[in-house]
Structure 1
Amino acid sequence: MPFEWIAAVRFLREGRMQSLFIIVAAAIGVAVIVFMSALLTGMQGNLFRRVLSSQPHIVLERPQEAARPLRQPEHGQAGAAILQVPSPRPDVIDQWQKVRDEVRLRSDILAVAPTVSGPAFVVRGASSQSVSVTGIDPEQYARIVPLPEKIVAGSYRMTTTDVLIGQTLASDLGLRLGDKLRLQAAAGRAVTLNISGIVDLGSRGANQRAIYVLLATAQNLLGLTGGVSSINLTVPDPFDAEIIARSVANQTGLEALSWIASNNQFFLGLNAQKITSQAIRVFVGLSVAAGIASVLVVSVVQRSKEIGILRAMGGSRGQVMRVFLLQGAIVGLLGSVAGSAMATLLVAAWRMLARNPDGTPMFALQISPGLYLLTALLATLTGLVAAVTPALRAARMLPVEAIRG
């Protein structure tokens, strides 16, 4: 072994208790950082599944036309301005196939699904209930919203005669699989469909109004033959949805509404949670670095005579400095290994203890191998940086003064 390694390992062995305490402190800091990272990732994933699993990341719609003033009242005269109100027309995206194909070519878009949506009534006997009808392409829409995973009864079968309904709506109207359901639009169009599946969207309001039919069925029912009312998009990173939405809006000329804009308070809460977690990691890392530096400073004082003898025997300042830098790096590395093991035990304990009232896990908690490697690298670098000041102090010692003490 090189001289610096031999000296560094011997110094650590001679001060066993000091070395043990600082390694344990580093291990606790690493365990906290790794466990918190896994906990935050699992929590965010759980929140995303609960909030975003029933809606797309970006929705493209036709821009709304505003009323334009034709004549303003003259200065000093009373009266109201004459406005030109746009004539009502269906909210249909013009040339939506072209827009869909253009958006699909973007590298920051994962999935594209056109939809038709509008109000209707469910008629059953003498009762009727207002619902929201959504026409979908089953294969494309499942990449946006995982409807097959939300089926609680029946199957994800979508033909021109099939319909999926919300769980609460089925309970309110006493509907079961295989029953006939009559949908009637405001314009008087009606269609009778067979209930092929019942879905749970995780929200009572959504389950009470949700109706999913085939795209062509919704187009005929809502009078939008050949057209769509919106195009839904999914992006790789949900936190980039607002930036991508602006870019898509500029490209297509359509109105792009991201989930961040429609769930602003939820996004602010997630962002605050993320910043808080990062701040805690930084302070834990600083406390570990301060502990390593303090122990190494004490080690320099205790071993001043050894340092003086090494210098008198021909050891260079660089060699002495590398001895203490290696001590800091070794402490950081050993602390990261022990801390990763502690974090793994904490995750195992969390999986056993953190459960919902029905006994199911609260949310998935995993530690990726990349997190272990990153933490080991950061802990080693932290120990190396923390050892800079003690190493400089040791390297600057004069041999005669160091031997005299």
Structure 2
Amino acid sequence: MNLIIELARGMLSRRRRQTLVSVTGVALGVAFFIAIAALMRGFQTYFVNQIIDVAPHITIKDETRTPPAQAAELAAATGAVEVHGVKPRDRIRGIRAAGDKLALLEAMDGVAAAPVLSGQALLRYGSRDVSSVITGIEPARHARVSNIEKDMIAGRLEDLRSTANGIVIGEALAFRLGAGLGDTITAVSPQGVALSMKIVGLFRTGIQNVDQSYGYALLKVAQVLQDRPNVVNQILVRLADVTQAERLARQIEARFGDRSESWEEQNANILTVFVIQNAIMYSVTGAILLVAAFGIYNIISTVVYEKTRDIAILKSLGFTEADIQRLFLVQGIIAGILGALLGCLLGALMIEALAQVRFGLETPSGNDRFILARDWRVYVAGSLFAVMAAGIAAVIPARRASRLDPVQIVRGAA
């Protein structure tokens, strides 16, 4: 095997220009793959982290996923029955036995839960009216299921307890109202209840929809505002391992009967877009590597054509067809490995160059540069694909070389 590697290296070194072009093509393909993957994965990871950061991992709602079976469906369970236009049954909204369900959830390992009452309200300050969503919370419990505390730019969630009818709202919502910290606004619910509420805190999550429309008050205050005493319409759940959210949501829904949505289900459309983005990225960079592989195919085909007499001599010395095939296959793999190594170096340099680009924009996170993911697995994936493409490109000329008849070559030369 050492002799075959040495022969392959010698054949490639005698055609340095063509070899350099092929290796450079593979290197550029790997480098672009690494750089684009770092951009895409960095953005996707940042976006998912923002979603996980702001939203709970599981939301239990006071509704069922499917309407209850009707009498006709129950009477003919195995028959072809279809029911339309059924009026929903009137019932008291709210999660039943919320306290018992909270106790069961909090008894699980790595699970934190908090009750909330969320409802629409019209916030009024002077002559300005802004529609918003007011969420009633228990600050101590809510701090365990949400990272809203770290997004506070003024005040604390605990200030809700020390102030009568206190409210914490998004910075953008306060700007829309024209109000600031310490101002008193009026909240009016759809039930006609009006409360004077004092702004005791401001937050900025970086998600416009949240910052412009959401506010937090004590759970008891929200229940008074919505005229729904002792009612909870959601239970928010946060997990130590976010990857278990979908599985646990299905278990909770099967046990309690209440609709339970994981963060993946709530953001399924966005995650689908990420899958399409990744498919486009791999297709484009894969095409670059395939083009580079054709360069390797061209080089080895030329070597086979030029080295027919050498192949005849090697066979006459006892080299088998498998040895000849291995000789040219090794040449392709060597070119792929060299291109992969050079590509990893170029990819790392491209990432560092992209990291220096500044946009001069004000962002909520304070980062006005590209968000890049430096993941070693991207380097491994790009290198493996490059070596595989180079090896496959070398197979056809290698097989052709192994089938050459040394007798015919010698006769043709004579």
Q: The TM-score by the shorter chain falls in which range?
A: 0.7 to 0.9
Give 2:402's match in structure 1, choosing from 382, 386, 395. 395
Indicate yes or no: 2:304 matched with 1:303: no
SS at match of 1:10: helix
Q: Cα distance, 1:181 vs. partner? A: 5.6
Give 1:254's match in structure 2, choosing from 253, 258, 265. 258
**2:392 aligned residue:** 385
Q: Cα distance, 1:43 vs. partner? A: 2.5
Cα distance in structure 1, aligned partners of 2:321 and 2:308: 13
Give 1:96's match in structure 2, choosing from 95, 98, 109. 98
Amino acid at match of 1:333: I
**1:341 aligned residue:** 345
SS at match of 2:356: helix
For 1:3-402, what aligned pairs fall within 5 Å after superposition? 3-48=3-48, 53-56=53-56, 58-63=58-63, 86-89=89-92, 91-100=93-102, 112-120=113-121, 122=123, 130-138=131-139, 141=142, 145-160=146-161, 161=163, 163-179=167-183, 195-202=199-206, 206-215=210-219, 217-219=221-223, 222=226, 227-233=231-237, 248-257=252-261, 266-353=270-357, 355-358=359-362, 360-402=367-409
Residue by residue over 1:149-204, the C-alpha shift from the partner in whole angstroms, topping out at 9 and shown as x without a partner, is: 43233345455235321213323444433445665656677776654421124455
Residue by residue over 1:76-97, the C-alpha shift from the partner in whole angstroms, topping out at 9 and shown as x without a partner, is: xxxxx998763352x3212334
Q: 8 Å contact 1:30–1:379 — kept in the other structure?
A: yes
Q: Cα distance, 1:26 vs. partner? A: 0.3
Give TM-score, length-normalised by structure 1: 0.79
Cα distance in structure 2, aligned partners of 1:83 and 1:374: 54
Cα distance in structure 1, aligned partners of 2:85 and 2:342: 76
Aligned length: 393
Amino acid at match of 1:342: L
Q: Which runs of 5 or more residues in structure 1 are unaligned?
A: 72-80
Q: 8 Å contact 1:92–1:224 — kept in the other structure?
A: no
Q: 8 Å contact 1:63–1:254 — kept in the other structure?
A: yes
Q: 8 Å contact 1:67–1:86 — kept in the other structure?
A: no
Cα distance in structure 2, aligned partners of 1:141 and 1:295: 65
SS at match of 1:132: strand
Q: Cα distance, 1:367 vs. partner? A: 2.1
Cα distance in structure 2, aligned partners of 1:110 and 1:281: 41
- Cα distance, 1:304–1:96 mapped onto 2, change above 3 Å: farther
Cα distance in structure 1, aligned partners of 2:293 and 2:324: 20
Amino acid at match of 1:391: A
Cα distance in structure 2, aligned partners of 1:189 and 1:70: 39
Cα distance in structure 2, aligned partners of 1:293 and 1:28: 17
Q: 8 Å contact 2:356–2:369 — kept in the other structure?
A: no
Cα distance in structure 2, aligned partners of 1:136 and 1:294: 68
Cα distance in structure 1, aligned partners of 2:281 and 2:307: 39
Cα distance in structure 2, aligned partners of 1:216 and 1:401: 96
**2:78 aligned residue:** none
Cα distance in structure 2, aligned partners of 1:30 and 1:84: 60
Residue by residue over 1:25-47, the C-alpha shift from the partner in whole angstroms, topping out at 9 and shown as x without a partner, is: 10011112111211111222344
Q: 8 Å contact 1:181–1:193 — kept in the other structure?
A: yes
SS at match of 2:136: strand
Cα distance in structure 1, aligned partners of 2:329 and 2:106: 53
Cα distance in structure 1, aligned partners of 2:195 and 2:409: 96
Structure 1 range deviating more: 141-150 or 315-324: 141-150
Q: 8 Å contact 1:153–1:198 — kept in the other structure?
A: yes
Residue by residue over 1:253-301, the C-alpha shift from the partner in whole angstroms, topping out at 9 and shown as x without a partner, is: 1123456665565455333323222322332333233332222122221
Cα distance in structure 2, aligned partners of 1:168 and 1:104: 34
Q: 8 Å contact 1:111–1:144 — kept in the other structure?
A: yes
Q: 8 Å contact 1:158–1:214 — kept in the other structure?
A: no
Q: 8 Å contact 1:163–1:211 — kept in the other structure?
A: yes
Cα distance in structure 1, aligned partners of 2:393 and 2:105: 50
Amino acid at match of 1:280: V
Cα distance in structure 2, aligned partners of 1:309 and 1:372: 41
SS at match of 1:387: helix
Q: Which runs of 5 or more residues in structure 2 are unaligned?
A: 73-83
Amino acid at match of 1:25: G
Q: 8 Å contact 1:121–1:129 — kept in the other structure?
A: yes
Q: 8 Å contact 1:351–1:361 — kept in the other structure?
A: no
- Cα distance, 1:280–1:127 mapped onto 2, change above 3 Å: closer
Q: 8 Å contact 1:137–1:215 — kept in the other structure?
A: yes
Cα distance in structure 2, aligned partners of 1:225 and 1:299: 85
- Cα distance, 1:251–1:285 mapped onto 2, change above 3 Å: farther
Give TM-score, length-normalised by structure 2: 0.77
Structure 1 range deviating more: 122-131 or 162-171: 122-131
Cα distance in structure 1, aligned partners of 2:319 and 2:134: 82
- What percentage of residue pairs aligned between the two structures are identical? 26
Cα distance in structure 2, aligned partners of 1:149 and 1:297: 62
Amino acid at match of 1:59: T
- Cα distance, 1:281–1:252 mapped onto 2, change above 3 Å: farther
